[in-house]
Structure 1
């Protein structure tokens, strides 16, 4: 039996930050456990080749929900990082924090320590921004945040076309206002991905008091009465935690571990023969994700990135990258996008992710040829799903019900987003490059019901699962963790990943998840206290 002070279960965006911070004190013996392998694949670190990592499948797990009525019977397929660095090693590197209103809403929901003015300094402390500093940005943190290294002509055309339909230009989506279009800043440095593993763990791995164990799955947390004492691994071995166990396995894996450990809805646990440690009905509930419904157009000329990863072209791009760290391979592909208020509420409810290519996904192939994909996604979904046990076998997939587009309001928001994306595609700067619209079929937008059907038929996740172990006030019966991220009703156990979000943030979740890991470390080490 191995003995540590802290066990961090999950080596993703939050786990890497947390393990690094906890091990800064040489008196703390820290174990970081990651179910995937080390981040050794070269394609992880070259920005433009992240799609090859997803295609290989070794470093990502694809979670499939039950058939979803809101998606016309299709499952929601959600890829998650299965490698050191987690999502930060396989994502599109977009650096977005969410809006001020997101965090102030958390505070209004009972998480007073998580208002915008509380989290902004943490974001600044983590950040080493290439261009920005001051009130909204930091320049001394470990996480390098860079401007685009490459600007594809179709990305530029989208930004100009969006302005032509009245959407303002915005050079900083993480500043005073979120609304507008532009190039995304990215978690890259000198032409390489800057994952949480690279930014926070690489230097920490040299410490004698930090052990990183990859290729090992946490089966469950072990308890002495209601105090967490360690974890049981999938090989049958146990590891002891003298102080705390912190779950950082993500919004799909963390609730499963909690339920296998005897923490969750008591009746559900008993159905599976799990001994109940604590009846906590919110575990696995409140699932949220961002869904997008794409608009795609074929270009007149062969100007997209289609075919650039094949043959002589691929070799030339790789040679340029290896010799100069410039060119197409430094692109994060999802270079441009923006935020739009389609409902007139004063806050954006749609985010655009734009690819200079036709976009496919796990359950459908990309259209062949050269094109552009404009993907509006619903930022603040009202639909809620769940993650529950299918069996007590830790290798069995959870019973995952995403409830995608279960609420009609989410469909209507996406319909408005698709309508705006169509207008952008028809604006002069894109119209001169576009041969025809491929999706949705021309003329379909004239029939609102047909457009709603299109949204249900085409929508897919943009990989931001959250909320399944939500943080909340003491009087919230569905809250799983308190403001300092302790699991309610037990001792020595916390959750510190996207699971704790009471409401999904308005944007990509990588940066907020790192912020959650940082705050967890501060709470644990007594550097901050919750309200």
Structure 2
């Protein structure tokens, strides 16, 4: 039993929770507890720690030979046509930022416009811009915040990554060095959170410096079952082992877009019908678990030619972003070049991941639809904390999304089949010209290879309550007191970017709001735009 009294409990030590906990702990009269369902990397074996630290590969099942399933929720996600796949989600201090590719892209102007239209007038692009500026330590952009962002020069990139850039330019995608510049479209280096070959997670930046502070405690291997209420005031969390930990001020959920809604639903916050079906007493009627979004990914892959890939090359260095024909200015399509994905050949054919259905070492391009209009659901299966929720993103449900998927795959096929890429790769696997030019055949192929980018968000939407909101602009859950959500689940619509940095930006604003006891929108807006 962990009986110490706390002012604030932060649930989940991922990309959001690390930021929120660190910001609140800056206030000396707080006593902050950070709970994490997974282990703390301070206690890992050498092999597991190597995977977490090495930024050259992504230490997830289906992406690298070095991975640790103990650090991964490995959730089941529904695909179209009744299929499913297992999707990695970080279960470790640092969360996804400890095991992902580290891509640090900002959301776009168009994203912020959508969020404002949903009743979030304080989340306009100029306001968000200032938060990114103070978070990032980016020498190229001249920022001096805490979290390091670097880019690989073309001269130092691997052979496959250089060929990708050359090929993208050959098919008309312009070169751009700073993909985080406002409105930037083109091909160039991914901004990544690392230092040399070492991955830099949110835990490295925000938690390691405060581990020994008197007002901060981190408790790993502590899964949260639900929030406990006295009438409508949150006062404690119930852990999966039965322990109860009290918070005198607030509980802040940062368990992610899959597990934050599940905790809320088990706690009595959600759809009355869902809660009634599980004999859970309703505390607040909110659309928790609705509006789930993700970036669909369709991998176009091939085998590397001999010597094209060198062991020790970084897998992810270059990418391209541009606006689809349907949404000018949205920067809603993305090609990510990866030099290394490894799926054990013993895996049964039909298993699904970022390599599609292919096995062994493959190379290629992840084709991401970054502004899908399809949304899905997260719903608990039972009241048992060990029973993972149902996750159905409803991929490619709309005609808009299917058109976008065709457009991005056709562009990728053009890139893959140029002379520069064909010097380092074999022919694309299972994809050819006759499929690419035929809408019906391409749609079928896309569904056969469809995967996830692991960018779940939106399931506890920040919006006006009459527009389907679960939380207000400061992350407070409607209808209750002493409870906030501050992770990717509150992002109102899916951003046209990898979600990690946007998640940290939301967490930074809300963490500072809690620390300073002010509403989001009243903070000083500071410096000018670069």
Superposed CA RMSD: 1.9
Q: CA deviation at 1:179?
A: 1.0
Secondary structure of 2:445's counterpart equals helix
Greater mean alpha carbon deviation, residues 204-213 or residues 75-84: 75-84
Match of 2:173 among 162, 167, 171: 167
**Would the aligned equivalents of 1:304 and 1:371 in 2 still touch at CA under 8 Å?**
no
Normalising to structure 1: TM-score of the pair? 0.90
Match of 1:98 among 107, 110, 118: 107
Secondary structure of 1:372's counterpart equals strand
**Would the aligned equivalents of 2:31 and 2:215 in 1 still touch at CA under 8 Å?**
yes
- How far apart, CA to CA, are the structure 2 residues paired with 1:124 and 1:263? 35
Per the alignment, residue 79 of structure 1 pairs with 88
1:347 matched to 2:330? The reply is yes
Per the alignment, residue 7 of structure 2 pairs with 5
Q: CA deviation at 1:26?
A: 2.2
Q: CA deviation at 1:364?
A: 4.2
Normalising to structure 2: TM-score of the pair? 0.90
**Would the aligned equivalents of 1:80 and 1:86 in 2 still touch at CA under 8 Å?**
yes
Query: What is the aligned residue count?
Result: 498
Per the alignment, residue 519 of structure 1 pairs with 509
Match of 1:61 among 73, 87, 92: 73
Per the alignment, residue 311 of structure 1 pairs with none
- How far apart, CA to CA, are the structure 1 residues paired with 2:109 and 2:96? 24
**Would the aligned equivalents of 1:45 and 1:192 in 2 still touch at CA under 8 Å?**
yes
Per the alignment, residue 89 of structure 1 pairs with 98
- How far apart, CA to CA, are the structure 2 residues paired with 1:360 and 1:441? 22
- How far apart, CA to CA, are the structure 2 residues paired with 1:112 and 1:359? 44
Q: CA deviation at 1:499?
A: 0.4
1:337 matched to 2:319? The reply is yes
Per the alignment, residue 288 of structure 1 pairs with 293
Q: CA deviation at 1:358?
A: 5.3
Q: CA deviation at 1:526?
A: 2.9
Secondary structure of 1:219's counterpart equals strand
Q: CA deviation at 1:203?
A: 0.5
Q: CA deviation at 1:188?
A: 0.5
The CA deviation string for residues 320-348 of structure 1, in whole angstroms up to 9 with x for no partner, is: xxxxxxxx3xx2x1111111223152332
The CA deviation string for residues 109-130 of structure 1, in whole angstroms up to 9 with x for no partner, is: 2111111111111111111113
The CA deviation string for residues 39-68 of structure 1, in whole angstroms up to 9 with x for no partner, is: 2322101112433577421111111134x3
The CA deviation string for residues 120-142 of structure 1, in whole angstroms up to 9 with x for no partner, is: 11111111113222xxxx22x11
- How far apart, CA to CA, are the structure 1 residues paired with 2:182 and 2:276? 49
Question: Residue 254 and residue 93 in structure 1: after superposition, are their counterparts in 2 closer, same or farther (change >3 A)?
Answer: same
Per the alignment, residue 407 of structure 1 pairs with 398
Secondary structure of 2:5's counterpart equals strand
**Would the aligned equivalents of 1:302 and 1:370 in 2 still touch at CA under 8 Å?**
no
Question: Residue 36 and residue 370 in structure 1: after superposition, are their counterparts in 2 closer, same or farther (change >3 A)?
Answer: closer
Where structure 2 has 5 or more consecutive residues not aligned to the other structure, the ranges are: 522-530
Greater mean alpha carbon deviation, residues 241-250 or residues 269-278: 269-278
**Would the aligned equivalents of 2:7 and 2:30 in 1 still touch at CA under 8 Å?**
yes
Where structure 1 has 5 or more consecutive residues not aligned to the other structure, the ranges are: 309-316, 318-327
Secondary structure of 2:160's counterpart equals helix
**Would the aligned equivalents of 1:130 and 1:147 in 2 still touch at CA under 8 Å?**
no
Greater mean alpha carbon deviation, residues 345-354 or residues 4-13: 345-354
- How far apart, CA to CA, are the structure 2 residues paired with 1:95 and 1:73? 33
The CA deviation string for residues 453-507 of structure 1, in whole angstroms up to 9 with x for no partner, is: 011110100110000000001432x210001110001110000000001101001
1:509 matched to 2:499? The reply is yes
Q: How does 1:225-304 map to 2 (within 5 A)?
A: 225-280=231-286, 282-304=287-309
Match of 2:149 among 142, 145, 149: 145
Secondary structure of 1:202's counterpart equals helix
1:34 matched to 2:36? The reply is yes
Per the alignment, residue 339 of structure 2 pairs with 356
- How far apart, CA to CA, are the structure 2 residues paired with 1:349 and 1:359? 27
Per the alignment, residue 384 of structure 2 pairs with 393
Question: Residue 474 and residue 530 in structure 1: after superposition, are their counterparts in 2 closer, same or farther (change >3 A)?
Answer: farther
Secondary structure of 2:364's counterpart equals strand
- How far apart, CA to CA, are the structure 2 residues paired with 1:82 and 1:449? 39
Secondary structure of 1:232's counterpart equals strand
1:178 matched to 2:188? The reply is no
Secondary structure of 1:8's counterpart equals strand
1:51 matched to 2:51? The reply is no
Q: CA deviation at 1:434?
A: 3.7
